Structure 1
Amino acid sequence: MQVPILKQGAYLIASIQSALSDADLMQLRDALVAKVSTFRSRGVIVDVTVLDVMDSFASRTLRDLVHMIKLRGAVTVIVGIQPEVAFAMVQLGLTLEGVATALDLEEGLAYLDQTTTRKVSAPRDG
C-alpha cells in the first residue's frame, strides 16, 4: 500500500493509513529519502497513529529511515505511537534509540520548528 507523502512548507509528512507489509515499509523509506532530496526538505514527520503493532522489522526500518534522512541534512520525528504499541515495544526490547518521537502531529510540527530553526541559525564549521 502506498503511503501518501505531503509537502507542507519545508517539511514532508508521511501519514501511514493502515498496516504495512515489509515491502511497503521499504518503499516508504526509499520514497521519503528521495523526496527529501527532491524538495530539499528540512524536516520529516512519519505519523504511525493507525498502527496497532510494530514489530522488529518496522522498528529497525523506521530507525534506518531516520538515520538516512539525517545524512541528507533533515530532521525526522515519529508521531502517534499508541500506548499499547509503546508498551509492547518495551516488553519486546524494541527501541527507536536515537529517534525523535512526539505525541501527535501538532507536537511533531512544533519539534521540527524548534529543531530546524536552531539548526539553520547555528554557525557552520569550516
Structure 2
Amino acid sequence: MRIPILKLNEYLLITIQVELDDQTALQFQEDLLNKIHQTDAKGVVIDLTSVEMIDSFIAKVLGEVVNMSNLMGAKVVLTGIQPAVAITLIDLGIHLKGVPTALDLEQGLAKLEQDLEE
C-alpha cells in the first residue's frame, strides 16, 4: 500500500489515512524522498490526524523521514498528532526537536509558509 503524496505549489501534502505497518512506512519514506528530489519541494506537511497508534519502528521511521527531508532541503511540519501518538513518541525518546507542529492541515500549511519566509 502506498500513501498518496500531493504537490501544491512548492509544497508536498501527505495525509496518512491508513494504519502504518513496517512495509508501508518504509515505502512512504522512499516515496517521499524521491518526490522531494523530483519536485524540488521546499516544504512538506504530514498530517497524522487518522493515525491513532504507532509502534517503536514506525516512530523511528517518522523521525528519520523528518531528518532526511530536512537534509534534502524540505522543511517538515507535522499536523494532527493524536494524544496517544504524542505519548508514544516521547516514551520512545523520539523528541523531534525543531520540528514544527500544528493542529490541522490548514494550520500546518500556514506554519510552513511562515517558517519558509523567515
**TM-score with structure 2 length normalisation?**
0.90
Aligned equivalent of 2:64: 64
- TM-score computed with the length of structure 1 as normaliser: 0.85
How many angstroms apart in 2 are the aligned matches of 1:97 and 1:8?
A: 25
For residues 32 and 39 of structure 1, the distance between their equivalents in structure 2, rounded to whole angstroms, comes to: 10
Equivalent residue number for residue 4 of structure 2: 4
Secondary structure at the aligned position of 1:81 is classed as coil
Q: Is the 8 A contact 2:89 2:95 kept in 1?
A: no
Q: For 2:9 and 2:3, how far apart are their aligned partners in 1?
A: 19
Q: Which AA in structure 2 matches 1:105?
A: L
* Structure number, greater radius of gyration: 1
* Cα 1:10–1:100 shift into 2, 3 Å: same
- Taking only aligned residues, the RMSD between alpha carbons, in angstroms, comes to 1.4
Identify the residue that residue 94 of structure 2 maps to in structure 1. Answer: 95
Distance 1:11 1:74 in 2: 9
* 1:1-126 pair list within 5 angstroms: 1-90=1-90, 92-98=91-97, 99-118=99-118
| Distance in 1 between residues matched to 2:72 and 2:22, nearest whole Å | 23
Amino acid at match of 1:25: A
Alignment partner of 1:51: what SS? coil
The unaligned stretches of length 5 or more in structure 2 are none
Within 2, Cα distance between the matches of 1:100 and 1:56? 21
Q: Is the 8 A contact 2:45 2:77 kept in 1?
A: yes
In the alignment of these two chains, the number of paired residues is 117
Q: Tell me by how many angstroms 1:88 deviates.
A: 4.4
Distance 1:80 1:42 in 2: 21
**Mapped contact 2:36–2:72 kept (Cα < 8 A):** yes
Question: Contact (CA 8 Å) 1:59, 1:96: kept in 2 or not?
Answer: no
Unpaired runs of 5+ residues, structure 1, are 119-126
CA distance in 2, matches of 1:20, 1:34: 19
